[in-house]
Structure 1
């Protein structure tokens, strides 16, 4: 006699029904996975505050009169090949006299090339630890690795003012180690998301992770500018003290509220745990064996698709990191914005890219759900808008010259175009290698981070003789446009189809696991009742 459903336990259909009910109506309290996503976004926000604060702070640290070779009292109203000391965007609020008065003279005689080395030092360390951090997170735990990253980078930030007064080499060394400590964070967050975030929620989670970083930049630019002008401990040192202390405080929240996996969480509801088990679609055996899977590094490194994606990420990184690290110097030395206005414009640029990322990500998901375009074509279209659009704006900046209104408008448009990455090279990593997306992200993003130290050094050497030279800055924008165009052309050869090396191993393992599960299910519904005269063994 066949067992009833009550006797046999929950069937697949009943589990689906329960999970659907939980998903729509049955969340007990605030879901724990949302807390994980929120704190990952907060960790990224903190990461970016530590990464970008020096871009603004260095303007107040450096002796401006030393760089121009003139005393501030006898400074000419126009630098050689530069713009006049009039901020046309804020002409109704300021005049040239107040512009001069608002300028500060820092304590360090660092030439532009030295400043470039200081700003780029972070990315030397960042790349070193970025490539294989996904596997490192699997070995020691993503939560623990991110905690180490937060603690190390926060302590090093607190030590930065001491290092600056000691020697510029000490500052460079601290920034290299800070980069190393933060290079592990992004791959570790991807690993943590794999444990916590279902695939049907992952796009939103990844968007919040990216936007968290830009919100950190938005907060840091005006905060750093304000503290440089009005902070304690001499102004600019207070930037590092405030952000370092903030990182140490946030570390406690991370340690007590984040868990490595849902099964380890002490207060997760049974409903949410059931929902995650169903929608993450991974068995305990698969989770245990994930650490044993070898990444096909050789196949990844010789894959043309990987290199095309990497070139596009390099081009994107060149443009965004140019604005992140050198835009404050451009606004200060060419357009002569005060440090507070400088911070405000930089913050607005990141507001633009944050909103753009959200909008383009939503549009990309809508196109994908409705199947309005083939996935490869959609990815190419978004990336073309990203890189070709940004290149067009970079080419126009030299033509508007000292028109502050036009320059600021083009900067904002550039950041809007960069937001189209949300539908281009950012999601295509998962498309190409679903089972090794963390490793592929690590290596392509490491290559995409190389401009982090190339751009400041390149711009620094170009501007050593005259930091306010429009001609030299025009070369910077022309090169940026050329790099973006090359990356956009290369990405046209990228396909969103999964690569053979990106799926085979894990698919085989999943198939074996599914076969075992099916066998177990059959055993539970078998009714060997030959002695009772029943000839059929299965219901």
Structure 2
């Protein structure tokens, strides 16, 4: 027997729908967000005068002008000319500059989650992303002025970027019917992998062949792209289906009926102090998501900020090759994101697995697979550079399963507070951004494979611990504390939904 929701789903498919447009614009926005975050990871390698830094580390006199020097590499690549930049930044300084983004990023997570409960996620996101794009365009000026100015600008960029996920998840709580949720949110989040995949090779090419002296063009291009996206967002996106001027009545009714009982507009006027803070703080499913966020972010930020450095120092790829091989894992993640989203949709629509079991399956794939692979990676040297790239690609591709696992789980357990919950969990995760970057910089001072082995062992332990914790405490069920302030009929509907979910388990 076909249920009303299944009939509506068939009548108003994703193809040519407004919710698909929201997903596509969100995809481009996430791509832009990670381009802004990632561009410095490559740019900083060609901004730095490595010859001067090496001489300073050896307590040698640093002359006024430095010529390019020849460095020894693996026999497979032979010797290559190492191109120096114009900034004398030590490895510790570079680690701090890469990490301070997360100082700003973690500060705005919870405030953004509160703001989007009461005000327009669309316009909050527009304002902060426009400021973030402008700050990126000022990066060359800041870098050449002082380290302090550069640090301040990266903190501002982090502050603005921190608004993204609480806002986009709050938007999806109004736009994503449960039947389409994995695919829509998965498509939006896949932009982060594509953003990394495109930014790395493009930044590598701009380093060598770009305008304005090479590396500055990375930031001018990225900032301009962000500004153009903001204009697109302002004209095409609306906070709710009801606000959209050209959505069909059929699609609007389908979305609203699918979300009936999950969202209550009266909560927009609820005082912050009246939110269910105690219930959230004692919720095991919430902490399961938070732990995955923390564990994944430590490893994710380790790879985001350090992959180009690893490719250069250990695997000995030159600058132009570095961008392309560093991008390979993120291309795999982008493909994996879509594949896992489709798989989740099939498993849910055909009722093969409950939502809880789907989320746990995806988390096991996304944490245990890379947890094993990074141990193997720890023992590979530059003679096996291409095998290392393949393994890194497989491992990071598997982590994309998390984006249809724990990272969509906020909307499952508490759609009413999805933006707030993501702000909370992402704040906890963002703390690791600075520390992981600094940890890698401190451990890998010698630029050798043994130092990087420690980094990979720590990553493996974190992956496995996160998988076990979520397997025990994770859930895909709507939580009782997330259905406050709804009328009796809605509560009755939700009670029936919970019983159906329990039956599926």
Which interval holds the TM-score relative to the shorter structure?
0.7 to 0.9
**Structure 1 residue aligned with 2:296:** 316
C-alpha contact (below 8 Å) 1:121/1:453 kept by paired residues: yes
Q: Which of the residues 360, 377, 382 maps onto 1:380?
A: 360
The Cα of 1:379 is off from its aligned counterpart by 3.2
Q: Which residue of 1 aligns with 2:109?
A: 130
Out of 21, 29, 37, the residue aligned to residue 35 of structure 1 is 21
Is 1:58 aligned to residue 35 of structure 2? Answer: no
Specify whether residues 337 and 386 from structure 1 end up closer, same or farther in structure 2 by C-alpha distance, changes over 3 A only: same
- Cα drift, residue 111 of structure 1: 1.5
Which one of the candidate residues 249, 270, 292 is aligned to 1:292? 270
**C-alpha deviation, 1:381, in angstroms:** 3.3
Counterparts of 2:305 and 2:415, CA distance in 1: 33
Checking the alignment, whether the CA contact within 8 Å between 2:9 and 2:179 is kept in structure 1 is no
Q: Please give the TM-score of this superposition, normalised by the length of structure 2.
A: 0.87
Offset, 1:374:
5.0
CA, structure 1 residues 503+449, in 2 after alignment: closer, same or farther (shift >3 Å)? same
- In the alignment, does 2:74 pair up with 1:86? yes
Counterpart residue number, 1:143: 122
Match of 2:78 in 1: 96
* In 2: Cα distance, 1:513 partner to 1:74 partner: 71
Task: Look up the SS of the partner of 1:493 in the other structure.
Answer: helix
- Show the counterpart of 1:368: 348
Confirm or deny: 8 A CA contact 1:114 1:460 kept in the other structure.
Answer: no
Judged with a 3 Å threshold, the aligned counterparts in structure 2 of structure 1 residues 345 and 18 are, in CA distance, closer, same or farther, namely: closer
1:398 to 373, 378, 399: 378
Using a 3 Å threshold, how does the CA distance of structure 1 residues 138 and 380 change in structure 2: closer, same or farther? closer
Deviation per CA, 1:49-72: give whole Å up to 9, x if none: 111100111110111113333877
Please give the TM-score of this superposition, normalised by the length of structure 1: 0.81
Greater displacement, 274-283 / 289-298: 274-283
**Which deviates more from structure 2 when the two are superposed, residues 123-132 or residues 302-311?**
302-311
Decide which of 166, 182, 205 is 1:226's aligned counterpart: 205
Q: 1:275 to 1:490 in 2, by over 3 A?
A: closer
Q: Distance in 2 between matches of 1:323 and 1:59?
A: 15
Match of 2:324 in 1: 344
Q: Tell me, yes or no, if structure 1 residue 356 matches structure 2 residue 356.
A: no
Which of 157, 177, 180 lines up with 1:178 in the alignment? 157
Specify the alignment match of 1:511 in structure 2: 488
> Deviation of residue 290 (structure 1)?
3.8
> Does structure 2 conserve the Cα–Cα contact (< 8 Å) formed by 1:308 and 1:491?
yes
Residue 87 of structure 1: CA displacement? 6.7
Change (3 A) 1:159 1:376: same
What is the count of residue pairs matched by the alignment?
A: 478
Structure 2, unmatched stretches of 5+, are 59-65, 493-505
The question of 1:433 aligning with 2:421 is answered no
Given the alignment, which residue of 233, 236, 244 partners 2:223?
Answer: 244
d(CA) in 2 for partners of 1:96, 1:326: 24
TM-aligned CA distance change 1:283 to 1:415, over 3 Å: closer
Aligned to 1:520: none
Match of 2:448 in 1: 469
1:30–1:58: structure 2 CA closer, same or farther, 3 Å change rule? same
Q: Does 1:165 align with 2:144?
A: yes
Residues 23 and 87 (structure 1), Cα distance of their counterparts in 2 relative to 1, 3 Å cut? farther
CA contact 1:19–1:274 (8 Å) conserved in 2: no
Q: Deviations over 1:471-490 (max 9, x none)?
A: 11111111111222222222
Which entry has the higher C-alpha Rg, 1 or 2?
1
Find the counterpart in structure 2 of residue 107 from structure 1: 86
Residue 389 (str. 1) matches residue 369 (str. 2): yes
Residues 487 and 87 of structure 1, relative CA distance in 2, 3 Å threshold:
farther
Query: Against the structure 1 CA distance between its residues 375 and 17, is the aligned structure 2 distance closer, same or farther, given a 3 Å change threshold?
Result: closer
Q: CA deviation at 1:499?
A: 6.9
Unaligned runs of at least 5 residues, structure 1: 1-12, 78-84, 89-94, 516-539
2:365 and 2:5 map into 1 onto residues whose CA distance is 40
* Counterpart residue number, 2:441: 460
Task: Assess if the C-alpha contact under 8 Å between 1:432 and 1:502 holds in 2.
Answer: no
- Report Cα offsets for 1:285-336 as digits up to 9, x if no partner: x324444274212222233443333222211112222111101001111222
SS in 1 for 2:338: helix
